Amino acid sequence: MIKKLEEMREELAEAKEENRRLRESLSDVADKYGSLRAHFMKLLQERGGGKLHQAEDEVTRRSHQLEEEEGGSTVARQFVDLRPALSAKEESHNTELSTDDQDNSAHTNLDAGEMEVAASQPKTTQQQQPPDHEATMKKARVSVRARSEARMINDGCHWRKYGQKIAKGNSCPRAYYRCTMADGCPVRKQVQRCAEDRSVLITTYEGTHNHPLPPAAAAMARTTSAAVSMLLSGSTSTADQPLLGSNSLLAKRTLPLSSASVAMISSSAPFPTISLDLTGVPNSLPQWRPSTNIDPFRVLPFSNGVAPSLASFGHHDQQSHFSGLQMSTSCLTAGDEGGATSEFLPMKPHPSGPRSLAETVSAATAAVANDPNFTAVLSAAISSFMNRNGDGRE
DNA sequence: CGCCTTTGACCTGCGC
DNA sequence: GCGCAGGTCAAAGGCG
């Protein structure tokens, strides 16, 4: 009994330590984000002129509004500051593009910025969307990797298991859960252990809740919904990109946050999936990982020495494909053409060699500018994870 | 008794 | 058309 208590105490100490590390990381990200944002706004001012001031004011106003509604943390506040300003018309238009029920009451739980992400896409691109785009959105998913011995992550919602399967390529069974907090809630999740590291639990969310959520669940829901919106923004801008090879269904975007870490997002037809790594790698940040439509649980690798702590994952057969996406600010090579594109293609050596720091920063800010909701997603996910750690491990 | 998990069957989409 | 794989259904049984 005493031994067990001691074990529990040790686990608690470990959890606290991990929590502390994550907070430090988050603080570091916030700092670096602040400087990046400052640079971004400076560039915008240089390029755009007065309208951007209005946009910035509007963004700030909305952010503060969100804070009041959600009681967001200081860091989260910093993260959401990049949200775009939108007209009411655009917002209403894009509500139609959100996942699942259009009259979904869960949208009241989700911050307005999530609707704004879709709205931030140029109208021309939206008009080019294929007719089944809405259906695609319903399939958009967010995958969260977290280290846990528990059967599944406690995200605050009530889930009912409705199926289990052994997926190809992973001997661990995949469990299917449906949200039971309200009748007809369309949200589903899949839980599976990572084949390579069974201590890692991979949870994939799909859909939007149609009911009010408890705070703990709200954070995760924000992550899901916002990430779905972010996927929309990616797919709309990349759907017709001829540069994507015929065998490349992935549309990828990376969002450099610091010299040692990169946030990633990708979409893949027909199930665009964002993977968020919360496995608590020391001195690293949560990582957005692209997944394939073949198996949304499959972990794609990060590689190379840019972020050594992340290099231990993955399938080597795809390593080269994504290695270029894992880049520091000194080797960022995509997303800067035209300043607005966020398309990150499978990496090829840049013909002109390493770019200047100015170009790199420009590319980075362009990427962030094109993914205004990324920060909100990231902060929601991190806060969710921290809440979990703060409550003690499962 | 209600809710949940388990598990085999079934459905569907996709590639060949 | 066929086979495969992912996803879902629903009956049966367990548990509090």
Q: What is the mean pLDDT of chain A?
A: 51
Å between A312 CA and B12 C1'?
A: 36
Residue A169: CB less than 7 A from any atom in strand C = yes
| Numbers of helices and strands, H then E, in chain A | 11, 9
pLDDT of residue A319: 31
Rounded to whole angstroms, the Cα distance separating A279 from A392 reads: 15
Residue A190: CB less than 7 A from any atom in strand C = yes
Residue A168: CB less than 7 A from any atom in strand C = yes
Å between A172 CA and B15 C1'?
A: 25
Q: Please identify which residue in the block is written with the tokens 């589903």.
A: A188
Measured from the Cβ of residue A50, the count of other Cβ atoms closer than 10 Å reads 8
Closest-approach nucleotide to residue A249, Cα vs C1': B14
pLDDT of residue A250: 36
Provide the b/e sequence for A231-265 (b: ≥16 CB within 10 Å): bbbbbbbbbeeeebeeeebbbbbbbbbbebbbbbb
Alpha-carbon distances of A218 from A55, A297, A332, A340, A352, rounded to whole Å = 28, 23, 34, 31, 46
Cβ-7 Å neighbors of strand B: A 158-165, 175, 177, 180, 270
Closest-approach nucleotide to residue A176, Cα vs C1': C7
Closest CA to A239 of A83, A75, A129, A136: A129
Q: Please identify which residue in the block is written with the tokens 């109208």.
A: A123
Rounded to whole angstroms, the Cα distance separating A179 from A189 reads: 8
Closest-approach nucleotide to residue A160, Cα vs C1': B4
Radius of gyration of chain A from Cα atoms?
20
As ranges, strand B nucleotides with an atom below 7 A of a protein CB are: 3-9, 13-14
pLDDT per position as a tens digit, A67-77:
344 433 333 33
Report the amino acid identity of residue A285. L
pLDDT of residue A98: 36
Residue A76 burial by Cβ neighbours in a 10 Å radius (0-12, 13-18, 19+): buried
Å between A126 CA and B1 C1'?
A: 52
Residue A163: CB less than 7 A from any atom in strand C = yes
Report the amino acid identity of residue A231. L
| pTM of full prediction above 0.85 | no
Closest-approach nucleotide to residue A180, Cα vs C1': B3
Q: Please identify which residue in the block is written with the tokens 């073949």.
A: A294
Å between A193 CA and C2 C1'?
A: 32
Rounded to whole angstroms, the Cα distance separating A71 from A393 reads: 24
pLDDT of residue A22: 63
Rounded to whole angstroms, the Cα distance separating A240 from A236 reads: 8
Q: Please identify which residue in the block is written with the tokens 């040692």.
A: A260
pLDDT per position as a tens digit, A292-343:
333 333 333 333 323 322 223 333 333 333 332 333 333 333 333 333 333 3
Å between A224 CA and C12 C1'?
A: 34
As ranges, strand C nucleotides with an atom below 7 A of a protein CB are: 4-10
Q: Please identify which residue in the block is written with the tokens 């293609």.
A: A345
Alpha helix segments (H runs only) across A49-142? 50-70, 74-80, 88-95, 112-119, 123-127, 133-139
Residue A296: CB less than 7 A from any atom in strand C = yes
pLDDT per position as a tens digit, A88-114:
333 333 333 333 333 333 333 333 333
In chain A, which stretches have pLDDT less than 70? Answer: 1-5, 7-9, 11-12, 15-16, 18-140, 216-217, 219-273, 278-394
